[in-house]
Structure 1
Amino acid sequence: MRTAQSQQKSFTDRQHRPLEFATGDHVNLKVSPMKGAVCFGAMGKLAPWFIGPFEITGCVGVVPYRLTLLLHLSGIHNVFNIFMLQKCRSDVVPVIDWEPLKVHEDAFYIEQLVRILNRKEQVIRIKVIHLVKVHWGHHNVDEAS
């Protein structure tokens, strides 16, 4: 029994790396996806494991850190355990330019057709399927479907 415990401890000691963050560092926050709940933009298998990056504003103790959260996450307490944080991999925090969407009160918006890029007919046995590649508004041409 002691041999097994010592082997497990030595394995844990090799795998363990000390985490430490300073004020001003950028980290990603680990979120646990819930089945059937849309918490952070996606649901089920496509739910994100980490969201962020967020800036650390201070250390509350040895383990908890205080983060600067976005406005839509204002209902969440801003102090997190060190094990829920992951160091942000990039040196530069990505800045995303986006046009504001016209979002209705029901939290949906209407996609608008910009242009039709390609038309094609696919024959499967005796059926003919018409395929149309469409460029939608608020998306790049690469994201056409």
Structure 2
Amino acid sequence: MNLRVMGPFQILKRVGSVAYQLALPPQLSNLHGVFHVSQLRTYVSNNSHVIALESVQLKDNLIFKPKPIRIIDKSTKTLRNKVIPLVKVVWEGLTSKEATWELEEEVLRQYPKLVDVGT
């Protein structure tokens, strides 16, 4: 599944040419504070995009796993001779605009009760 967004967090300093150290709150003290630019997004002010830290529950291995709300679209991707079914998933705490394309097989395996757009 794709990474979800938390924050915003203040940038403390640039680390090398492709990473930044962030000021993380005490609830996230188990995480290192340095992140590669590919893991960061420019913050556009909109309170509906922000996940409240109080609602974030990190698993023991420090992975935040949001729950899918619904499937809003289906598609396929063809790679050479293989057709890969995809579904567009809206995630808890995110808007439909931020829905992500996921492998249909994985979504239905992990969330068998998830209702898709066609049912």
Relative contact order higher in (CA < 8 Å, ≥ 6 apart): 2
Larger Rg: 1
TM score, norm. by length of structure 2: 0.43
